[in-house]
Amino acid sequence: MRFRKNAHAPVESFALEGNLGATAKWLRVLGFDAVCPADSSVDYDYYVTTRKAARISGAIIVEEGSALPQVRQVLELTGIKPDPERLLSRCLVCNVLVQAVPKDAVKGKVPEGIFDTVPAFTQCPACGRVYWEGSHRSRMLSALEQAGISLDARSIPCSQEE
């Protein structure tokens, strides 16, 4: 596994060991490129592990436990500040950037009540998963804030699946 450590990269990338899937998902919520389990053929900015005896130079070692405290540790140890413009910009499953799609493109793919009331949708070009702004977004923001990861919610774009 190689690390690019490029300070000018547009989005920081993380390779996480296999037991950190939930942590990877929350890093994706924040808009980071987070692959779990790590793919040794790809370059990453950071490798995240829970193994104190990790023999990977520059590895970020997080404490065992739940995902959000681990995300906070990653951010603190790297000095990276989440960018509210990137929040919910990736598919939480595929890690691919979601794209805005015309409303008609999701007809039949989302519940009728959602289709009738939600004005904008995004979709993962890889898996087809559809996202929209809903109450789940505010619950995610609240969970991040309770974990000590603050964002300016006023500037967060719509890209959340309900």
pLDDT tens for each residue of 87-134: 999 999 999 999 999 999 999 999 999 999 999 999 999 999 999 998
- 2-15 pLDDT, tens digit per residue, is 444 444 456 789 99
Rounded CA-CA distance 110/56 in Å is: 43
* Per-residue pLDDT, 111: 95
Distance from the Cα of residue 9 to its chain's centroid: 16
In the chain, DSSP assigns E strands to 2-3, 13-16, 33-35, 43-44, 46-49, 60-61, 99-101, 121-123, 130-132
Residue 159: pLDDT over 50: no
Query: Token pair for residue 62?
Result: 């997080």
CB of 82 within 8 A of CB of 141? no
Beta pairing class for 2-3 and 33-35? unpaired
Q: Which two tokens stand for residue 85?
A: 């413009």
Instruction: Report CA 147 to chain centroid distance, whole Å.
Output: 15
Please give the pLDDT value at position 160. 43
- Please tell me the predicted confidence (pLDDT) of residue 10: 62
For residue range 13-64, list pLDDT tens digits in order.
Answer: 999 999 999 999 999 999 999 999 988 788 899 999 998 877 777 789 999 9
pLDDT of 106 = 96
Give the pLDDT confidence score for residue 150 in this predicted structure: 82
- pLDDT at residue number 11: 77
